[in-house]
Structure 1
Amino acid sequence: MTDVKSQQKADRLKAALKENLKRRKAQARGRQAVKTPGNESGSLSVSAERDKPSD
């Protein structure tokens, strides 16, 4: 009986982790899509501003 329960639990966990991974990948793609147009505007990023030589 415990093997059946533990197997069911493992299957539920596996499915939940798979769905979580899909959701995180979709979020990452969404963030990347939003990030790309901002970089094309020519504005300096924080690191580029920091590394710019001073006069």
Structure 2
Amino acid sequence: MNTKNDAARAERLKAALRDNLRRRKAQGRARAETSPENAAETPPGDAGAPPEPTGEPGSQA
């Protein structure tokens, strides 16, 4: 490839990455607006974790 093609490719990639970032930010803002109460209840990364044992008698299955 020559430098003209490389520069054009770099510009297209830069524009695509910028558009992707804008779209993802908009999606994140939309999700935050629709369910702010859910964000406080479930910490990130713990959505699929089983409940921890409480240590109370009879709480074992």
TM-score of the superposed pair, with normalisation by structure 1: 0.66
For 1:22, the equivalent position in structure 2 comes to 22
1:33 equivalenced with 2:33 (yes/no): yes
- Cα RMSD between the aligned structures? 2.9
TM-score of the superposed pair, with normalisation by structure 2: 0.60
In proportion to residue count, which structure has more helix?
1
Cα distance in 2 for residues equivalent to 1:34 and 1:9: 38
For 1:13, the equivalent position in structure 2 comes to 13
Aligned residue pair count:
48
Runs of 4+ in 1 over 6 A off after TM superposition: none
For 2:59, the equivalent position in structure 1 comes to none
Unaligned runs of 5+ in 2: 57-61
Unaligned runs of 5+ in 1: none
**How far did residue 19 of structure 1 move?**
0.2
Give the fraction of aligned pairs with identical amino acids, expressed as a percent.
Answer: 39
